Structure 1
Amino acid sequence: MTVNFLHRRLLRLAFALWAGVSTASGLSCTKDATAPQAVPAETPAAEAPHLVSSTLIGEYSASSLAARVSDIPIAGALVKYPIRVYRLTYTTRNTDGQRITASGALLVPVTTQPLPLLSYQHGTIRPDEESRAPSYYSSGSEVWSAVSVLASTGYIVSAPDYIGYGASKSLPHPYEHAASLASASLDMLRAAREFAAQQKLTLNQKNFLLGYSEGGFATLALHKLMEEKAAAEFSVTASAPGAGAYHKSAFADYILSSTQPLSFLSTYVWVLDTYNRVYGINRPFSYYFNAPWAAQLQADPFGAVPSQASELFTPGFRQAVLGKTDQSLQASFRDNDIYDWQPKAPLALFHGTADDYVPFFNSQDAYNAMKARGATRVELRPIPGGNHFTSAPSYTLQAYAFISQYY
């Protein structure tokens, strides 16, 4: 099946599968350079084995997978193999460096053919939507629909829950934190490879990376970690992140200088709350937020907030960021800037040009910085006129076609 043919066939399917794509990335993820490092730069392979347990969730025939998208006439033609879905638990490190047990889903096509690994990083899942994490394999989740069809085309899919969901749900999710998203995803890949060895599954040593929104940010962070710290274990074959908040420093300035209503400030509050905790900044909410929002958010960090940044955030906080006078905050943003490095493997950055949630400049800046560093295999793939949600179907289609070139 050629890439062009896949483009045509996936067009309608992609729109249906991603109609309910989860919302995504966030604001300026902060890390305090004056505080202890939140997560080691890598989880050393010497800590292997990582796999703790595996549980078969179910085996799904090609016809049952096609039935999930039965309203799309072309869906059946895309499904090639039945799949088995497993819940894996594995060891990784929390943001404080402590070893914990995390989880994820592993989708395995039923075939004797050597297959590649594909690491799929999911988008934003709010705490009250915890059952949508991959290891639950629940109806309506990303892995149940789109990713299952992807697996059935011939990829062993590793889908980490991340810290804060599944086996680690008692811990807060470190939202938009590059280091822990990357390390939890890499350790899941390690566990997946250990599982494959136990089950005598044949891997072909190709490794693909996909993810949209928070998953796009996690995908680029994982790509960077794999090439810079785990190249002896894994080689990235191709990577296709979508709509990630890669340039945190610029994103912080964008939010705090905005004079227009912003529809997603509650998500940015989650990011700020996360990093205030993770990096030991530990400032009171009243430092960041005006009354009465500070007290309300202290009680419920996911509560409603105004849409104007000047109404929500205190003048002192805004001035400290925009004036670059708060060294801890600036170091925090810079530490989560993952846009400026030189990838070696083929990389395509997908982003809607009208994205008002995670602005397009995040991908544009990454492309410019990577090219300036000499990257020769990076591409910028704008989705003309697409916002954060309408771009998701196009991302699904185009990212699948992009990695298919290297299958």
Structure 2
Amino acid sequence: MPSRVIRRKINFSLARLTFLLWAGISTASGISCTKDAAAPQAATETLTSPAETHLVSSTLIGEYSTSQLAGRVSDIPIAGALVRYPIRVYRLTYTTRNTDGKNIIASGALLVPTVGGQPLPLLSYQHGTIRPDDESRAPSYYSPNSEVYSAVSVLASTGYMVAAPDYIGYGASKNLPHPYEHAASLASASLDMLRAAREFGAKEQVAVGKKNFLLGYSEGGFATLALHKLMEEQASSEFTVTASAPGAGAYHKSAFADYILKSDQPLSFLSTYVWVLDTYNRVYGINRPITYYVNQPWAAQLQTNLYGEVPSQAKELFTPTFRQGILDKTDAQLLAAFRDNDIHDWQPKAPLALFHGTADDYVPFFNSQDAYNAMKARGATSVELRPIPGGNHFSSAASYTLQAYAFISQY
């Protein structure tokens, strides 16, 4: 575990690192990969049966000294003091299940600190939203514009082995559509990356401890809570969650849909919500044309570019038929898809802290409040709600990182 001395050196300067760490929640334009980070392999053909092991390959991307890691954050006071160990970064490929249940090859980055043989706690880091046209920011590319390159690397250098899955649709599986905000596949791709990380440790004689921590913000927060749930409910014989700290995830999809479709206010996230609808329409076999959901002329534009600009008013963008079916609770297929992605209402066992900005107008605060209320009602004793007063979706990321790191460091 990172030493208490190192943890005491954390201050608000680390918060400034967060804007590098959580770049994935923005829509910044992509940057080509660095010289030492070759593109991940293309996905192989679909397998017909599950493999006994998950790890397919590991490729060393680079070895980075403490001075190199500190140099990446040289403009941030004290950040260099957090760097404790040199790290090696690997690109892993591994088997996982696609949304249709078939095995595919996925990828991720594994950051391994050199600590002299002591067992490493394993930290699963789930990245935020990455548009497909900005794919080079996926963790396995380890390019300077990715979330794992700077602050996550500093986190690894404090003594965590960090497993950072690309998810389906990026890296080795980039020929497949990313199942955006689909809880089951985000969780399973992340869990299988953890399995591959442990297999890597056994193969390379890297001691991996029994502690498992989970972090992620925005889509990564949703993926983190889904992963926590999957690990406790279906993989407890393999892994014990030590602590998790998801941030600003859309955990209550059914309530979120009502919030959007009732709104008379401008909403800044409707282009990403179209992506959610497209994912559920496909994954759950609903298969309606986009004109069912979206008014013209935007429907025609989105058929060409799903990630294009849309109006900010829900009533202007979405068709009356779609809106009525959700608000009147008559659209059985889509309502069932939303319920399948409601991950707020269950009873976690491991310590869980839900972080969220109270003024978040991208993923409203009620998502975390509803999760906290539902979990407490089910008898959860180790769940905490950690509001970030006055923070919006982007400004809260700094406080989230600082507080989430402090939270998991207790364990």
TM over 0.5: yes
Select which of 2, 16, 23 maps to 2:25.
23
Q: Does 1:180 align with 2:185?
A: yes
Post-superposition, which runs of at least 4 consecutive aligned residues in structure 1 deviate over 4 A? Answer: 1-5
Shift of 1:51: 0.3
Say what the alpha-carbon RMSD is for the aligned residues. Answer: 1.7
Partner of 1:269: 274
Select which of 78, 84, 87 maps to 2:82.
78
Tell me the distance in 2 between the aligned counterparts of 1:228 and 1:206: 17
**What letter matches 1:341 in structure 2?**
W
Say if 1:83 and 1:151, in contact at 8 Å, map to a contact too: yes
**What letter matches 2:286 in structure 1?**
I
Write out per-residue CA displacement over residues 203-226 of structure 1, whole angstroms, 9 at most, x where no aligned residue.
220000000000000000000000
Shift of 1:47: 4.0
Partner of 1:11: 12
Partner of 2:210: 205
Tell me the distance in 2 between the aligned counterparts of 1:217 and 1:174: 13
Tell me the distance in 1 between the aligned counterparts of 2:17 and 2:375: 33
Indicate the SS of the match to 2:181: coil
Select which of 99, 123, 129 maps to 1:124.
129
Tell me the distance in 1 between the aligned counterparts of 2:11 and 2:394: 18
Say if 1:81 and 1:154, in contact at 8 Å, map to a contact too: yes
Indicate the SS of the match to 1:376: coil
Q: Does 1:135 align with 2:136?
A: no
Partner of 1:246: 251
Say if 1:123 and 1:214, in contact at 8 Å, map to a contact too: yes
Indicate the SS of the match to 1:237: strand
**What letter matches 1:48 in structure 2?**
E
**Number of equivalent positions:** 387
Tell me the distance in 1 between the aligned counterparts of 2:299 and 2:313: 15
Shift of 1:10: 3.7
Say if 1:3 and 1:401, in contact at 8 Å, map to a contact too: no
Shift of 1:17: 3.6
Tell me the distance in 2 between the aligned counterparts of 1:188 and 1:59: 21
Tell me the distance in 2 between the aligned counterparts of 1:280 and 1:169: 21
- The worse-fitting range, judged by mean Cα deviation, of 247-256 and 111-120 is 111-120
Shift of 1:253: 0.3
Shift of 1:386: 0.3
What are the equivalent positions in structure 2 for 1:188-227 lying under 5 Å apart? 188-227=193-232
Distance 1:110 1:263, change over 3 A: same
Shift of 1:246: 0.2
Q: Does 1:51 align with 2:55?
A: yes
Shift of 1:292: 1.0
Shift of 1:73: 2.2
Say if 2:329 and 2:335, in contact at 8 Å, map to a contact too: yes
**What letter matches 1:101 in structure 2?**
I
TM-score (norm 1): 0.92
Shift of 1:13: 2.1
Q: Does 1:316 align with 2:317?
A: no
**What letter matches 1:209 in structure 2?**
L
- The worse-fitting range, judged by mean Cα deviation, of 53-62 and 14-23 is 14-23
Indicate the SS of the match to 2:405: helix
Q: Of the two structures, which has the highest relative contact order with CA contacts closer than 8 Å and spacing of 6 or more?
A: 1
Partner of 1:169: 174
Say if 1:246 and 1:362, in contact at 8 Å, map to a contact too: yes
Say if 1:3 and 1:405, in contact at 8 Å, map to a contact too: no
Partner of 1:345: 350
Q: Does 1:384 align with 2:409?
A: no
Indicate the SS of the match to 2:322: helix
Tell me the distance in 2 between the aligned counterparts of 1:3 and 1:252: 43
Partner of 2:378: 373
Distance 1:3 1:315, change over 3 A: farther
Indicate the SS of the match to 1:18: helix
Distance 1:194 1:4, change over 3 A: closer
**What letter matches 1:219 in structure 2?**
T
Select which of 99, 108, 112 maps to 2:112.
108
Tell me the distance in 1 between the aligned counterparts of 2:100 and 2:397: 33
Tell me the distance in 1 between the aligned counterparts of 2:64 and 2:234: 36
Write out per-residue CA displacement over residues 334-367 of structure 1, whole angstroms, 9 at most, x where no aligned residue.
1100000000000000000000000000000000
**What letter matches 1:77 in structure 2?**
A
Identical-pair percentage: 79
